[in-house]
Amino acid sequence: MVKKADRRLLEKLVEISGSDNVIADGPAYEDYSHDMADYMAEPAVVVRPRSEEEVRRVVELARSMSIPILARGAGSSLTGAAVLEGALVIDTRNMNRVLKVDTVNWLVEVQAGVSLEDLNKELKPHGFFFPPDPASSYICTVGGAIAEGSGGLRCVKYGTMKDWVVALRLVLANGRVARLGEPLAKNRAGYDLVHLVVGSEGTLGVVTEAYLKIIPIPSVKTNRFLLTFGDWESTGEVIGRLRSSKIMPHLFEFMDGETIHALNEKTGTAFDESEATLLVDVEAVVTAEATKIFESCGALTIKLAKDEEEAESFYQARTMAYLAVKSTATGVQVEDISLPIDRLGEYLRTVKRVAKKHGLRIPVNGHAGDGNVHPVILYEVSDPKSREAAGDAFEELCSIAIGMGGSVSGEHGIGSQKPRQLGEQLRAHEGEETLRLMKEIKKVFDPEGLMNPGKYVDAA
Ligand SMILES: Cc1cc2nc3c(=O)[nH]c(=O)nc-3n(C[C@H](O)[C@H](O)[C@H](O)COP(=O)(O)OP(=O)(O)OC[C@H]3O[C@@H](n4cnc5c(N)ncnc54)[C@H](O)[C@@H]3O)c2cc1C
């Protein structure tokens, strides 16, 4: 049954991608009306193109009918970026092939719909890997991770998506295909349009393919620690002390007691539920020095993973943190604050104060080694007071972060969640002119405002 899209549009889409790949109703359609932080919006129709040429024809069609376009991967976004009312949704996951693994140039050519986990499965037999690892890697796509400029657990050591994309193909709002960048280790010919697209949240075009850098699976031995502390601030001290001792952790993840409690309850783990838990990887050669730092910062327990299996189980538990916590309330607002690393402990203390002031539960997890934390503001949807308190806490946590020289997004992006805060941050730190330039750039790529409109820079 046709629900939203008009029949002419449906027929044309079926002509392009086949009836199996056009969704206008039913449970499959419902999946596209929310993201993973419960932002809701009903699309007009969903199409699952099988090739770049199909994407191009779909975009041309949408433009001819003035229908807004939403590129979408797994819909694991947490900011409303992956839902759009009345949109023609282009789900890229039929384009899920790794096209070429190049072990000499250390590059992989890949279609946009491949999940990061599948990409790493393909790379492993070659002895290579792709480092950025959002905790959603098991589903999130290359295209979605590029468009969000995603980070993850290993980014403290390896950086985020922006550090790993060298070239991509982009279907523009005018229906033409732009090839941005080159599959080269070095290239500085012209403005860097590749990195304009990284973090563009589907507002500049649809990514269909990319060349990503890859590196050999590290041979250096690392040790994984699970550490507990009696207070949150000490964890800020640990990262400060490691860094000033010139120790670069390969992983430095934070979870508070409430997060660990939710994990134990929901996933059957049996971790100590102390105030703060850290998951830290350091190179084996610096294990003794790092252990001394953990002790002197007041670690209550220092557990070294006994083998790879146990190390992996710690990692997997961390990737489940958000979903475990989310399942303990009916409403959620996920923060994604990025701070100067030396102010991490101070900010964590602030989160506690804000939670108490508003009478809310705000468990925190995050990639604390690069100053990126996720206070997860929980509330009850049916209780207006609780909703209002969550909104106030959200605003306050963003403003405090901006005042401390931080950013309202380290990796999740802006979507429809934070455009006002994006404007506030840019005006405070970079100036009005920067925002003006961003708005002009959007117009150059998408003069008719068809690509994921009304969010992000558009709404800042
Ligand atoms: C449990 C959980 C853990 C998470 N952990 C992390 C984390 O550690 N680090 C992190 O950075 N994020 C994390 N996220 C957020 C999210 O998973 C990432 O942003 C992810 O990269 C989004 O990929 P996706 O394929 O789901 O994209 P979607 O959610 O489908 O889309 C996200 C945005 O990208 C755009 N987009 C998608 N595909 C394309 C394309 N081909 N061309 C142009 N634009 C496109 C969409 O329009 C939208 O604006 C987490 C989410 C969950 C649910």
252, 364, 376, 426 from 337: Cα distances, Å? 16, 11, 11, 15
* Ligand 1 atom showing the smallest separation from residue 415 Cα: 49
Distance CA 460, CA 416 (A): 10
In a domain, 235, yes or no: yes
Name the residue with the closest Cα to ligand 1, atom 7.
134
Low-confidence ranges of the chain (pLDDT < 50): 1-2
Domain match, 292 and 349 both: no
What per-residue confidence (pLDDT) applies to 6? 87
Question: Percentage helix, strand, coil, to 5, in the chain?
Answer: 40, 20, 35
In a domain, 437, yes or no: no
Domain boundary among 165, 194, 216: 216
Closest CA to 370 of 401, 408, 411: 411
**CB 33 within 8 Å of CB 4:** no
Tokens of 227: 């550490």
- 80: Cβ below 6 Å to ligand 1? no
pLDDT digits (tens, 9 = 90+) for 219-270: 999 999 999 999 998 999 999 999 999 999 999 999 999 999 999 999 999 9
What one-character DSSP code corresponds to residue 217? Answer: P
Residue 179 is inside which H or E element, if any?
Answer: strand 177-181
Domain match, 138 and 184 both: yes
Phi, psi of 448 (to 5 degrees): -90, 0
What per-residue confidence (pLDDT) applies to 321? 97
Q: Which residues pair with 334 in a beta bridge?
A: 376
**CB 229 within 8 Å of CB 279:** no
What per-residue confidence (pLDDT) applies to 407? 98
Domain match, 43 and 124 both: no
**CB 70 within 8 Å of CB 135:** no
Residue type, 145: A
Domain match, 103 and 208 both: yes
- Please report, for the chain, how many H helices and E strands are present, in that order: 16, 19
Residue type, 390: A
Q: How many residues does the chain have?
A: 460
Domain boundary among 298, 327, 356: 327
Domain match, 18 and 101 both: no
Domain boundary among 51, 78, 93: 93
- 136: Cβ below 6 Å to ligand 1? yes
The CATH number of residue 17's host domain is 3.30.43.10
Place of tokens 């290359």: 142
Name the residue with the closest Cα to ligand 1, atom 34.
144
Could you tell me the distance, in angstroms and rounded to a whole number, from the CA of residue 75 to the centre of ligand 1? 6
Could you tell me the distance, in angstroms and rounded to a whole number, from the CA of residue 133 to the centre of ligand 1? 11
Could you tell me the distance, in angstroms and rounded to a whole number, from the CA of residue 290 to the centre of ligand 1? 34
Number of domains in the chain: 4
* Ligand 1 atom showing the smallest separation from residue 208 Cα: 41
Coil vs helix vs strand at 220: coil
Distance CA 347, CA 453 (A): 33
Chain-centroid distance, C-alpha 410: 9
What one-character DSSP code corresponds to residue 281? Answer: E
- 323: Cβ below 6 Å to ligand 1? yes
In a domain, 446, yes or no: no
Structural domain boundaries, residue 86:
7-93
Burial class (CB in 10 A: 0-12, 13-18, 19+), 183: middle
In a domain, 256, yes or no: yes
Scanning 270-414, the segments in alpha helix (DSSP H) are 287-296, 308-319, 321-326, 344-358, 384-403
Name the residue with the closest Cα to ligand 1, atom 52.
136
The CATH number of residue 299's host domain is 3.30.70.2190
Closest CA to 453 of 86, 154, 189: 86
In a domain, 138, yes or no: yes
Distance CA 279, CA 76 (A): 24
- 197: Cβ below 6 Å to ligand 1? no
In a domain, 397, yes or no: yes
What one-character DSSP code corresponds to residue 62? Answer: H
Mutate to test the pocket of ligand 1, among 97, 111, 148 (most ligand atoms within 8 A of CB): 148
**CB 68 within 8 Å of CB 458:** no
Could you tell me the distance, in angstroms and rounded to a whole number, from the CA of residue 113 to the centre of ligand 1? 12
Domain match, 208 and 107 both: yes
Distance CA 435, CA 458 (A): 10
Domain match, 346 and 319 both: no
pLDDT digits (tens, 9 = 90+) for 409-439: 999 999 999 999 999 999 999 999 999 999 9
The CATH number of residue 340's host domain is 3.30.70.2740
Domain match, 197 and 248 both: no
Other beta carbons within 10 angstroms of residue 126's beta carbon come to 14
Distance CA 106, CA 122 (A): 14
What one-character DSSP code corresponds to residue 218? Answer: P
Domain match, 315 and 235 both: yes
In a domain, 427, yes or no: no
Distance CA 288, CA 247 (A): 12
In a domain, 130, yes or no: yes
Distance CA 385, CA 103 (A): 57
Residue type, 226: L
**How are beta strands 45-47 and 88-91 bridged, if at all?**
parallel
Domain match, 264 and 250 both: yes
Domain match, 280 and 198 both: no
Domain match, 203 and 101 both: yes
